[in-house]
Structure 1
Amino acid sequence: MAAIGNWQASPVQALSQAESRLQAGRQAGCPGRSWRPSPGKLDRVSGVLALASIGALRARRANKVALAAARPQGVLQPEWAAALRSGKAPRSSGDGSIGPGSGPLRFDLIGGPSEGESELMLYLSDIDFTGTVPAVQFPSLVDSFELWRCTLPAEDRKTGFAELARAVEEWLRQQVAEGRRVVLVGDGFGGLLALAVALQLGRALKGLVLVNPATGLVQKPWQSLGALPVKPLAELLQGAPAVGGQASFEHGLGDLIVKAATSAAGFRSAALAARSGTLDFRLRAWLRDGWEAVSCDLRRPASRTSLPATLLTFSKEDALLPSSSEAGELRGLLSERCLTGRLQVKELESRSHEPLASDIDFAKIVKESPIFAYKDPVTGYEFPSLEELEEGSQSVERIASVVSPVFCSFDPSSPSLRSFGLAGVPTPAEAGDRPVLLVGNHQIGGLDLGPLVREFLVTRGVVARGLAYPGAMRRMTTDQGPSQFQTFGAVPVSPRNIFKLLQQGEMVLLFPGGVREALHGPGEAYKLFWPSKTDFVRVAARFDALVVPFAGVGADDNVQVLANSRELRSKAEELLPFMARSQPKSGGLMPVSESLEAGMSVPFMAPPLSLATQSSPGIGDRFYFSFGKPVDLKDVSPKDKSACKKAYASIRKAVEQELEWLQQARLEDPFRDLLRRQLFERVASIEPSMRRIPEGPLEGQVVRTYANRAPSFPVEDLPPPQTDSVSDEDEE
């Protein structure tokens, strides 16, 4: 939809002097037409709108200076260069039409770089479908892209949404088949059309850019355009220049114009309705039918409707439609279909529904988006700065201040073979630049992840790169940059990512039970739900990795799992057999997370009825982690299935032994009691809350958001974990 409250001005056409208001309206008009407002009902509106000529004059002059200084290297087509000089939109040449099958739809080349290969950018405009609104952006866009627009005759009342989408998809498929890298841009209604086409083409496109898309999730655009006084407004707006530009009114006058224009539903929509009489048709056959078609595609599984790298932009204060809320609703649907890190949602400082008609640097925004500036989460990872570590540590401390985590690791000199701290866990540097794979159980809700990763960063100066469920990674992504998951090294679990991490010699954190353990059902606390296959051992053996088995307890005791969605559905299917249906496989995940193949199950949880004590679980139960003796896979051949199977069984058995040892050891911890521990940590402890990093890239730096903890069990007085040999039954 078009901007309201923003007067459209030519980007380079300057006025030599401020003529009378009516004469300014005539000069801006289309050839052969005169601006004759009807008497009576137009007097007030014409008076308000005529005041805009002063601001429009200033905007034209400013735009002229900006474009003169830019000196673009791209080359505009002659008709577009003339249009920018005259302020009149060029007629569609139709040179890019794909033939009779496209009907009246035309594809016009606007311009492109003078030298070398470039990506192709197709611009799909708003409900006017002229492709002229963002003309002020064209000189900078043709520096980097071969820029095309899609147009339709203004009087067309036959071409529906399905025909539009089919023609655009066919044209783009032809470009992709010729080896072109295509970026599809949709503005307003064009955003809805672009999304429909992108859902069909998927990642055959290089990128998708949506600008204030009229997808109708929050408010259907046609619902806000009820009974329009389009005829009188159109008579006023017939004098609007066809080529873009925007006068900004932010100092009083703008508010008046915005309110006046808002009540009349919009700038371009009203002009379109009066000039060609097609607004009602386009609201029905384009917007309404388009959203119904797109919503059907969005109801399909995300795995069947993938999207390329996507940039979703919206105006901060859109005066026409709630674009900010729309983007918020749309973000979740897009993130499910984009690869992790390939969706960016960007807020534009604009009050217009047509932000591209302003002086924003749209070309730069696109170039800095994940479409072009994407970093591989494995090879492109950068160690967090001290500021980022402090921010993440502060978030973890909210949990740690309640659960006071305790860490133990293998120590051959201790009677219990364990000592406090992580000194017994070798880092890749200590292992001779070999990868280190930490393998353990996952606790409810993944609450164990934050304290684990922070402890390695602060006490060992190394990042434990977590392999996370892709859905969690997408939900944790933020608009302003990488999430804390990504900042602290997590990557989506996949065969490629675990291979690349181990290949790089990283420390990798793996929970073979995946979300099946993190979202377990009632009575399943501290049980392993590992896959039957040994693939992670085979991959680790390929790179001579050290595997460190570990266990964690405490998180599962802070909640009561009453039921899970899988059990409830199973019971419902027994009573109502028609509810039974096959669960779609998640696909794309390696066997380390094969438990996902049975479908996601969400636990229904409640807090315990009592506080934690030394002998019984409850609210505030303490977290305990223990890392066992490393398993060296240097002498294990990844092709030897029997050796890999034995190593796998040994690692799993070691994790189970660590679980048993921790559950017994915590009974000897007097500070497992929540009230006693909180009293000690908050009152008796007067030491400052800080920790100095002993090694790594941040060696010597001080983390000030790491509080002191209460003592724990007498680790040296405890018996060591059992070291039963692996039986043949365990290897089955």
Structure 2
Amino acid sequence: MAAAGTCFLPGVSSPLFRREPPQLHGKLNPARTQSMSPRFAMSVDRVPATLVAAEKGNTVELKREEGGAEEIDKRWEEKEEKQRRSGWKEYLEQATDLIVGDGGPPRWFSPLECGSRLDNSPLMLFLPGIDGLGLGLISHHQKLGRIFDLWCLHIPVADRTSFTDLVKLVETTVRSEYQRSPNRPIYLVGESLGGCLALAVAARNGDIDLVLILANPASSFSKSQLQLLIPLLEALPDSFSPALPSILSLTAGDPLRMVLDNFVKGLPLQNTARELIEDFTTFSSSLPVLADILPKETLLWKLKMFKSASDYANSRLYAIKAQTLILCSGNDQLLPSQQEGKKLYKLLPNCQLREFDDSGHFLLLQEGSIDLVTILKGASYYRRGKYLDYVSDFIPPTPYEAKEVIQSNSLITAVTSAVMLSTLEDGTIVKGLAGIPSEGPVLFVGYHMLLGLELVPLVSRILLERDILVRGIAHPMIFRKEKNGRLPEVSSFDTFRIMGAVPVAPSNLFKLLSSKSHVLLYPGGMREALHRKGEEYKLFWPEQSEFVRMAARFGAKIVPFGAVGEDDLGEVVFDYDDLMKIPYFKSEIENLTKEAMPLRADASGEVANQQVHLPGILPKVPGRFYYYFGKPIETKGRKQELKDREKSQELYFEVKSEVERCIAYLKEKRESDPYRSILSRLLYQATHGFTSDIPTFEI
């Protein structure tokens, strides 16, 4: 990593910071606003070229660095895993360098790791928690630095700026940057105390496009036993300085509890002290650093600020209209964060909630389990303009993220043991996916299995074998939910959005094809995925061609495909017709469908019956999934021809007939597959190795 010069802090020489940051994009002049003292520095490192598509904002084939795909994937995963697991260790190392000779007023800095980034990247301001150092995102710096202009607020240990003055400082920066880029959102990431700061700034600046990311916000301080530490610290003699950090640095585990118990024996603070050390002892090996970060006077000042900050933020919640994402821990020993997260979720109008049941108070430093960029991708909270564009704002998953998503669905992949067939340009059917076009735009058009079970193996195999990310056109219920609604939580579909799903809309199909993406489309939609008894492999497509002329406009190749195997996993025994005969279920279905924003309401026939319900399914001994991708249909050069309604309708029926032919072919051929049953597949793997490819029928 390139770094030069010295830290601006008096008497400190550190490779972490530089006196004057480079003038990237012409907006880093520290003298621009009074609230900005000289910032630390920005790295000049380049963005790793593992995913070139990420820099361009499109979804074409995921191109890799030189050196071989497997080698690059391994290097990238090791690098990303190292970043994710550095957490506390790196925090404490850099904190030691930062606080030596620290002085002066609060100011912004930009981490060295944050160098090259996407064009028009939004500004992200990190507002720290009780420590005030501004290093709370340290394990996220590199990934955030690729897609954000990241600034972190540093509050020196000896600084005694009041909460209201901190609000004004952040507000000055927000307003200055808003005037420079009024069409670009500004992200406020607030951790603990910083969460109150973010809420306060948002309440005072409703006219600015702010996105709040709140990690265990301290707006719940009045409900926390942590406030009982204030009288304890006030009662400590000055000779006991630096107070609690000194106590915590004595030892860890049970001996520490004994010392603390003896010290506060008989006081109502005993449980509070115990809970406090649950989070602090995570990094007990370096606890002496806490004595410098939080001496008695500073800790007492910060705890009193917690109270004023909480009161200030709570009294202004009604004024907050900003888009908000709340991250709350279920094992926070300092604040009742999970309860507070649910409270804020109900009160704030434009809000989503993500819960982390096993995480403690220091959520963003949680080793190995929390990745802020991945969370933002999954929640669809990354945008570079006033409105989210699901195509231009999409950041393709890194190999590590894709691997995590695929592994989270490994059970269905293993159980179904998918067979993939494709068709070459000369019409030859081959095993594997060699017949799938490498260059986009490509439009996959096929049959939607029961509950969409075919999606996971299909997208995973194309990504693993061809390094192609398929963007799915999905139902809007995956992207929005009424707060008091009965649909599944939006967080249930985070992995879909990480992998590039977009809401069904002509404009999104237009953008995807114009960006040369590989797009997955199911004309039958929910009517196929939630079909009735006896309707397996029956297509429910609209009468009019909805995608042919769009494909022709961009010269996209249409790849019809069939998928079978749903009837080898389960059988529908209680369907929509049965449910509608029961008044309770009928009312539930009507309410769910209305909440999910009905599609094709102006259409006729069965395809318009996109009712949201869950059929009763009787499981079977698992069979196998089969996919057959037909010969790509070329539309390039046929734009004028397919403007004619009759011509486009002919091609539409040709695609539909090809999908039905692919399904019929698979239904016939699977009868001769000796490994159609999971029992025969398990026996084969037991004798040939569990990583071996399982044979299938002869083509």
Instruction: Name the TM tier (shorter chain).
Output: 0.5 to 0.7
The partner residue of 1:307 within 320, 323, 337 is 323
Letter of the 2:431 counterpart:
G
The answer to whether the Cα contact below 8 Å between 1:442 and 1:514 also exists between their aligned partners in 2 is yes
Unaligned ranges ≥5, structure 2 = 1-8, 21-29, 39-98, 111-119, 142-148, 156-160, 277-295, 480-489
**Post-superposition offset of 1:418:** 7.2
The partner residue of 1:134 within 113, 132, 135 is 132
| CA 1:335–1:659: 2 relative to 1, 3 Å | farther
The answer to whether the Cα contact below 8 Å between 2:602 and 2:608 also exists between their aligned partners in 1 is no
Letter of the 1:402 counterpart:
V
Deviations 1:675-728 (A, max 9, x none): 44544x235x63x67xxxxxxxxxxxxxxx4x322432x65xxxxxxxxxxxxx
Partner of 1:540: 551
Superposition map of 1:140-155 within 5 A: 144=151, 151-152=163-164
Letter of the 1:538 counterpart:
R
Partner of 1:96: none
Partner of 2:634: 632
**Post-superposition offset of 1:68:** 11
Letter of the 2:625 counterpart:
F
Partner of 2:334: 320
The answer to whether the Cα contact below 8 Å between 2:675 and 2:694 also exists between their aligned partners in 1 is no
The partner residue of 1:403 within 416, 423, 426 is 416
Deviations 1:71-95 (A, max 9, x none): 54446969999xx9999998xxxxx
Tell me, in whole angstroms, the C-alpha distance in 2 between the residues paired with 1:456 and 1:711: 19
Tell me, in whole angstroms, the C-alpha distance in 2 between the residues paired with 1:588 and 1:112: 48
Q: Does 1:437 align with 2:443?
A: yes
| CA 1:406–1:226: 2 relative to 1, 3 Å | closer
Q: Secondary structure at the match of 1:583?
A: helix
**Post-superposition offset of 1:224:** 3.8
**Post-superposition offset of 1:441:** 0.9
**Post-superposition offset of 1:576:** 7.3
Tell me, in whole angstroms, the C-alpha distance in 1 between the residues paired with 2:364 and 2:459: 44
Superposition map of 1:444-463 within 5 A: 444-456=450-462, 462-463=468-469
Partner of 1:653: 657
Letter of the 1:646 counterpart:
E
| CA 1:441–1:533: 2 relative to 1, 3 Å | same
Letter of the 1:517 counterpart:
E
Tell me, in whole angstroms, the C-alpha distance in 2 between the residues paired with 1:390 and 1:231: 50
Partner of 1:421: 431
Letter of the 1:436 counterpart:
V
Partner of 2:509: 498
Tell me, in whole angstroms, the C-alpha distance in 2 between the residues paired with 1:560 and 1:206: 48
**Post-superposition offset of 1:552:** 0.8
Q: Secondary structure at the match of 2:510?
A: helix
Tell me, in whole angstroms, the C-alpha distance in 2 between the residues paired with 1:258 and 1:264: 11
Superposition map of 1:217-366 within 5 A: 221-225=221-225, 228=228, 231=231, 233-236=233-236, 249-250=248-249, 252=251, 255=256, 263=271, 287=314, 307=323, 318-321=332-335, 323=337
Tell me, in whole angstroms, the C-alpha distance in 2 between the residues paired with 1:647 and 1:354: 52
| CA 1:237–1:264: 2 relative to 1, 3 Å | farther
| CA 1:526–1:86: 2 relative to 1, 3 Å | same
Partner of 2:92: none
TM-score, with structure 2 as normaliser: 0.55
Tell me, in whole angstroms, the C-alpha distance in 1 between the residues paired with 2:198 and 2:606: 36
Deviations 1:459-516 (A, max 9, x none): 66655444455765874788xxxx59746x6666554553344334444332233445
The partner residue of 1:620 within 603, 619, 622 is 622
Structure of larger gyration radius:
1
Letter of the 2:435 counterpart:
V
The answer to whether the Cα contact below 8 Å between 1:583 and 1:598 also exists between their aligned partners in 2 is no
Q: Does 1:663 align with 2:663?
A: no
The partner residue of 1:205 within 204, 209, 213 is 209
The answer to whether the Cα contact below 8 Å between 1:521 and 1:603 also exists between their aligned partners in 2 is no
Q: Secondary structure at the match of 1:528?
A: coil
- Say which is worse superposed, 262-271 or 559-568, in terms of deviation: 262-271
**Post-superposition offset of 1:124:** 7.7
| CA 1:389–1:493: 2 relative to 1, 3 Å | same
Tell me, in whole angstroms, the C-alpha distance in 2 between the residues paired with 1:395 and 1:582: 29
Tell me, in whole angstroms, the C-alpha distance in 1 between the residues paired with 2:576 and 2:173: 45
Percent identity over the alignment is 27
TM-score, with structure 1 as normaliser: 0.53
**Post-superposition offset of 1:421:** 1.9
The answer to whether the Cα contact below 8 Å between 2:126 and 2:152 also exists between their aligned partners in 1 is no
Partner of 1:49: none
Tell me, in whole angstroms, the C-alpha distance in 2 between the residues paired with 1:353 and 1:394: 23
Partner of 2:694: 709
The partner residue of 1:682 within 679, 682, 685 is 685
Letter of the 1:252 counterpart:
T
Tell me, in whole angstroms, the C-alpha distance in 1 between the residues paired with 2:153 and 2:302: 32
Superposition map of 1:437-586 within 5 A: 437-456=443-462, 462-469=468-475, 475=491, 486=498, 495=506, 497-520=508-531, 522-531=533-542, 534-563=545-574, 568=579, 571-572=582-583, 583-584=594-595, 586=597
Q: Secondary structure at the match of 2:547?
A: helix
The answer to whether the Cα contact below 8 Å between 1:377 and 1:486 also exists between their aligned partners in 2 is no
The answer to whether the Cα contact below 8 Å between 1:122 and 1:184 also exists between their aligned partners in 2 is yes
The answer to whether the Cα contact below 8 Å between 1:306 and 1:337 also exists between their aligned partners in 2 is yes
Q: Secondary structure at the match of 1:134?
A: coil
Tell me, in whole angstroms, the C-alpha distance in 1 between the residues paired with 2:443 and 2:251: 62
Q: Secondary structure at the match of 2:623?
A: coil
The answer to whether the Cα contact below 8 Å between 1:378 and 1:491 also exists between their aligned partners in 2 is no
Superposition map of 1:2-17 within 5 A: none
Q: How many residues align?
A: 540
Tell me, in whole angstroms, the C-alpha distance in 2 between the residues paired with 1:229 and 1:145: 28
**Post-superposition offset of 1:658:** 3.0
Tell me, in whole angstroms, the C-alpha distance in 1 between the residues paired with 2:297 and 2:543: 62
**Post-superposition offset of 1:184:** 3.0
Partner of 1:44: none
The answer to whether the Cα contact below 8 Å between 2:449 and 2:566 also exists between their aligned partners in 1 is yes
**Post-superposition offset of 1:145:** 7.5
The answer to whether the Cα contact below 8 Å between 1:319 and 1:352 also exists between their aligned partners in 2 is no
| CA 1:493–1:345: 2 relative to 1, 3 Å | farther
Tell me, in whole angstroms, the C-alpha distance in 2 between the residues paired with 1:353 and 1:623: 40
The answer to whether the Cα contact below 8 Å between 2:571 and 2:617 also exists between their aligned partners in 1 is yes
The answer to whether the Cα contact below 8 Å between 2:331 and 2:357 also exists between their aligned partners in 1 is no
Tell me, in whole angstroms, the C-alpha distance in 1 between the residues paired with 2:423 and 2:363: 61
The answer to whether the Cα contact below 8 Å between 1:565 and 1:601 also exists between their aligned partners in 2 is no
Partner of 1:98: none
- Say which is worse superposed, 391-400 or 370-379, in terms of deviation: 370-379
Tell me, in whole angstroms, the C-alpha distance in 2 between the residues paired with 1:201 and 1:598: 45
Letter of the 1:427 counterpart:
P
Letter of the 1:205 counterpart:
D
